[in-house]
Chains A and B, each alone.
Chain A
């Protein structure tokens, strides 16, 4: 058991910075409302250090609070896909040669009406991202990047056509939970065709967590700061794991 609290300048002082908007005019009453509100969130102490009108009816606040709440750090389990144990490009290729013995086919797209290509490109394109080569560069991977705005049906058909081993899906726009609907639809379509188990199914995007992806029926989810080597390591290991089981 290791108890932790926010750290300002002294261990356990519990200091937290906050900023927010209230739909009330700026002024003494607004500031007092802001302070009381912060206290109602369980903070023991609150100082509103700044307020400013945003319009006649809205105002902005910066506040500091002090919390006594704490967390047992040892009890925390992270939601991110395990990237620590991932192999680099050469490692992945060697692994494929040894355990799979043929090229691994990976199809990727940013689906639905989402037009953001940069994320899926970062994983798939030759050039890669941040000094991590993309899947197209992997000698033992046959990578197809279908780009953005790809309907789920089209992605599935393409995957079937090239006999893909893995499907990668990128979702960047998350407003009103469109990504959830899009991601879930792909799984439903695959299940309806009885093809879900044919593929290693990978979701990715800045607001995608592993837990969320797994809940939606994916094998894994990758968020910010993920690279082709993480994805490739996961895919090939999963393939081998499935072969064995």
Chain B
């Protein structure tokens, strides 16, 4: 990696140490806790699936039954009762799921012999691990078979019709037009559901429900296009909201390739409780890591919420924190698609140079990370012609600074979710720009003390000052006092706090143990 900005390596290392120090006490908190959705994710990995006639998913039924029987049972981990029911009834996972959906209560059975339960659980863990490993291997095999066929940066497009079958048409067309990554954006409000809907869905607002069946349908469709095009098409969805780890589990099982996963997005932008989010994000990221799924973090949101020029440092600060929380969960740099965005007010003089400086800075500070670069959205307007010009500038910066994942801007961003032709115009624009300036990054350097270098140094300095301030009071307090994204989130406020679970001395989660072992990370140890 070229070093064009001459940022001080020492200062960058110091910023990383600050992030490490901030994340450390949070990690201690996380490791002592589980949550309803962490438990449900564990059940999903074990095979719990389906829903009752009212649409309540089996994993929710099980967790609710166990909690209703005795709230302290969840402190042992929910899996104990589910596997106990498997052992006692002698049924298969599918049979047990059907019974639960029909009203059977797993907590009604007394606990049987521990060794038998553990043997059965080990079998389930192996089965899940094998399936996920298989997915990872299939992805790796296809990507190496078709190496060099994807665009660089990867061109990323969103579909959002609300109807999975319509999404398939749009996604197929987008892939045929040259997109490498298809993200199925979720319906408004799914983040606030404390369950994951079941089955294929055709009704959504501004997006499509993330369900395991929808994942499967889209995966199959993209695999088909990929075979035709001899180019691997990556599938993305959102592990965010109140069900982060469950959606991560579904993504791992259905071979998604990328997932939106930010350590603080839920807290700041969806008003989800902070403790809950920190606990959820870790387990979800462990699953992502094991599945070889690239996470995409949500730094762009800081820039759309506040002024993008003034608050540029919040992006770097968040990237460093996301990186640290990612490391804690076993994600290597190559799976850390840290986010940033081209969101400055287009009327700022030299705005382009500042954007270039910040994109290059991200590249140099995170050299191995597949950075996810987001297009202008906030200042997009009904003037689609201006919008197209802004997207062209964005495409230029992305290629000039070797970004990894390039989310294509839509000229109609301010108007509606994209039409099919909007996506085509976006791909066409990006391909034109990126081909036209292929060698630019290699050929061009920046003037010493010029606008670009000065801006990068300034943002790094501001980031360090900010992280020092956050470190001084601790992350929980910093969020409570509104240091991030200008919003204040009380520690015990927000949604989902009631779903937090303190791990008991005999907490048992063999999936978590297996992930920790395979990922080489440590977590809290239960008492057994």
Q: Which residues of A contact B (CB under 8 A)?
A: 19-21, 52, 54-56, 58, 60, 113-115, 117-118, 147-149, 173, 175-176, 178, 206, 224
Residues of A within 8 A of B205 (CB): 113, 173, 175-176, 178
CA distance A209 to B414 in the complex (A): 16
Instruction: Tell me, rounded to whole Å, the shortest Cβ–Cβ distance linking A167 to chain B.
Output: 20
What are 9 residue pairs bridging A and B, where the CB atoms are less than 8 Å apart in the complex? A52-B424, A54-B173, A54-B176, A54-B420, A149-B270, A173-B205, A176-B162, A178-B188, A178-B205
Q: Are A20 and B421 closer than 8 Å at their CB atoms?
A: yes
Residues of B within 8 A of A20 (CB): 421
Residues of A within 8 A of B304 (CB): 118
CA distance A52 to B176 in the complex (A): 13
Q: Are B192 and A21 closer than 8 Å at their CB atoms?
A: no
Q: Are B421 and A60 closer than 8 Å at their CB atoms?
A: yes
Residues of B within 8 A of A114 (CB): 188
Residues of B within 8 A of A19 (CB): 421
Q: Are A149 and B192 closer than 8 Å at their CB atoms?
A: yes
Residues of B within 8 A of A58 (CB): 173, 420
CA distance A173 to B206 in the complex (A): 8
Mark interface residues in B409-443 (1 if CB within 8 Å of A CB, else 0).
Answer: 00000100101110010001000000000000000
User: Is B84's beta carbon under 8 Å from chain A?
Assistant: no
Q: Are B378 and A115 closer than 8 Å at their CB atoms?
A: no
**Number of B residues contacting the other chain (C-beta, 8 Å)?**
25
Q: Are A21 and B419 closer than 8 Å at their CB atoms?
A: yes
If A21-B420, A118-B304 touch, whether A54 touches B177 (CB-CB below 8 Å) is yes
Instruction: Tell me, rounded to whole Å, the shortest Cβ–Cβ distance linking B227 to chain A.
Output: 15
Instruction: Tell me, rounded to whole Å, the shortest Cβ–Cβ distance linking A27 to chain B.
Output: 16
Instruction: Tell me, rounded to whole Å, the shortest Cβ–Cβ distance linking A6 to chain B.
Output: 16
Q: Which residues of B contact A (CB under 8 A)?
A: 162, 172-173, 176-177, 188-189, 192, 205-206, 269-271, 304-305, 378, 382, 414, 417, 419-421, 424, 428, 487
Q: Are A118 and B378 closer than 8 Å at their CB atoms?
A: yes
Residues of A within 8 A of B305 (CB): 117-118
Closest 9 CB pairs of A and B: A113-B189, A55-B173, A55-B176, A21-B421, A60-B421, A175-B206, A175-B205, A54-B424, A21-B420
**Beta-carbon nearest neighbor of B307 in chain A:** A127
**Beta-carbon nearest neighbor of B423 in chain A:** A54
Instruction: Tell me, rounded to whole Å, the shortest Cβ–Cβ distance linking A214 to chain B.
Output: 23
- Complex partner residue of A113 from B188, B382, B414, B428, CB under 8 angstroms: B188
**Beta-carbon nearest neighbor of B270 in chain A:** A115
Residues of A within 8 A of B189 (CB): 113
Residues of B within 8 A of A147 (CB): 271, 487
Residues of B within 8 A of A60 (CB): 420-421, 424
CA distance A204 to B465 in the complex (A): 38
CA distance A43 to B419 in the complex (A): 24
CA distance A173 to B186 in the complex (A): 13
Q: Are A54 and B270 closer than 8 Å at their CB atoms?
A: no
Residues of A within 8 A of B414 (CB): 206
CA distance A173 to B378 in the complex (A): 14
CA distance A149 to B424 in the complex (A): 33
With A60-B420, A175-B188 known, 10 other A-B pairs at CB within 8 A are A20-B421, A52-B424, A55-B177, A58-B420, A115-B188, A115-B269, A118-B304, A147-B487, A175-B417, A206-B414
CA distance A176 to B417 in the complex (A): 12
Residue of A19, A55, A173 with most partner-chain B CB within 10 A: A55
**Beta-carbon nearest neighbor of B207 in chain A:** A175
CA distance A176 to B187 in the complex (A): 11
Q: Are A175 and B162 closer than 8 Å at their CB atoms?
A: yes
Residues of B within 8 A of A149 (CB): 192, 270-271
Instruction: Tell me, rounded to whole Å, the shortest Cβ–Cβ distance linking B13 to chain A.
Output: 35
CA distance A60 to B271 in the complex (A): 41
Residues of A within 8 A of B419 (CB): 21
Residues of B within 8 A of A113 (CB): 188-189, 192, 205
Q: Are B176 and A56 closer than 8 Å at their CB atoms?
A: yes
CA distance A178 to B205 in the complex (A): 8
CA distance A224 to B415 in the complex (A): 11
CA distance A60 to B424 in the complex (A): 9
Residues of A within 8 A of B428 (CB): 52
- Complex partner residue of B421 from A54, A56, A178, A206, CB under 8 angstroms: A54
Residues of B within 8 A of A52 (CB): 424, 428
Residues of A within 8 A of B172 (CB): 55
CA distance A56 to B173 in the complex (A): 8
CA distance A176 to B163 in the complex (A): 12
Instruction: Tell me, rounded to whole Å, the shortest Cβ–Cβ distance linking A81 to chain B.
Output: 18
Q: Are B173 and A173 closer than 8 Å at their CB atoms?
A: no
Instruction: Tell me, rounded to whole Å, the shortest Cβ–Cβ distance linking B428 to chain A.
Output: 8
Instruction: Tell me, rounded to whole Å, the shortest Cβ–Cβ distance linking A58 to chain B.
Output: 6
Instruction: Tell me, rounded to whole Å, the shortest Cβ–Cβ distance linking B439 to chain A.
Output: 27
Residues of B within 8 A of A175 (CB): 162, 188, 205-206, 417
CA distance A173 to B162 in the complex (A): 14
